[in-house]
């Protein structure tokens, strides 16, 4: 298994196979529009703009499971990200990352890269998974890890 075995709905409702990103380094992030970490959208966009031509793609997955900090519709999420942070990286439809209804991609990511002390559950918005060019998760970063701190780990995979 790899991330390429999964599909997800985009903000516009279209379904996209993650196989479309084969050969790229991916940074997969569960996001929210009303969170203390929401300003990380700016850093994620900067990282994406800086390293996309070298093979990095950031994938945003909005989630409302933490403090109901992503209550909007897909259209509202897209408009918020564009207006406030100029987000151009791919954004997907709102998903669950924990529990019985967790998206299969996140079940896979949590199993492949457990968190602190081996716990699988996502603890908060803006947890980040770094995926190598073969689609394998290589690292998991806590929400407080700023996107600019990820440049060096990303570059080792490019």
Of 8, 66, 1, nearest to 36 (Cα)? 66
**Residue indicated by tokens 């959208």:** 41
141 has a pLDDT exceeding 90? yes
Does 76 reside within a domain?
Answer: yes
Does 89 reside within a domain?
Answer: yes
Residue 10 is encoded by which pair of tokens?
């985009």
Known catalytic residue at 35:
yes
pLDDT tens, residue by residue, 41-90: 999 999 999 999 999 999 999 999 999 999 999 999 999 999 999 999 99
Q: Which among 28, 35, 91, 157 is annotated as catalytic?
A: 35
111 has a pLDDT exceeding 90? yes
115 has a pLDDT exceeding 90? no
Determine the angle formed by the axes of helices 40-51 and 74-85, rounding to 10 degrees.
70
**List of long-range contacts for 111-119, beta carbons under 8 Å, 24+ apart:** 112/136, 112/137, 113/137, 113/138, 113/139, 113/140, 114/140, 115/140, 115/142, 116/142
Percent of the chain topping pLDDT 90: 94
Band of the pLDDT at 11, cuts 50, 70, 90? very high
Supply the CATH number for residue 113's domain: 3.40.30.10
Segments forming the whole domain that contains residue 92: 3-11+21-157
Could you tell me the CA-to-CA distances from 143 to 3, 12, 130 in Å, in that order? 21, 26, 13
Distance CA 103, CA 97 (A): 6
End-to-end CA distance of the chain: 21
Does 152 reside within a domain?
Answer: yes
**Average confidence (pLDDT) over 5-30:** 97
Does 16 reside within a domain?
Answer: no
Instruction: Please state the domain count of the chain.
Output: 1
**List of long-range contacts for 82-85, beta carbons under 8 Å, 24+ apart:** 84/41, 85/41, 85/42, 85/45
């Amino acid at each position: 298994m790899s991330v390429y075995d999964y599909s997800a709905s985009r903000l516009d409702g279209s379904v996209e196979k993650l196989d479309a990103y084969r050969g790229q380094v991916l940074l997969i992030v569960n996001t929210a529009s009303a969170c203390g970490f929401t300003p990380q959208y700016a850093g994620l966009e900067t990282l994406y703009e800086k390293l996309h031509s070298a093979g990095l793609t950031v994938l945003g997955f909005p989630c409302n499971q933490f403090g109901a900090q992503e209550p909007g519709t897909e259209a509202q999420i897209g408009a918020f990200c564009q207006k406030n942070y100029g987000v151009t990286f791919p954004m997907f439809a709102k998903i669950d990352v924990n529990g019985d209804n967790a998206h299969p991609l996140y079940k896979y990511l949590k199993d492949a890269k457990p968190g602190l002390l081996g716990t699988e559950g996502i603890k908060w918005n803006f947890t980040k998974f770094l995926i190598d060019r073969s689609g394998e998760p290589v690292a998991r970063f806590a929400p407080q890890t700023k996107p600019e701190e990820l440049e060096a780990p990303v570059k080792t995979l490019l």
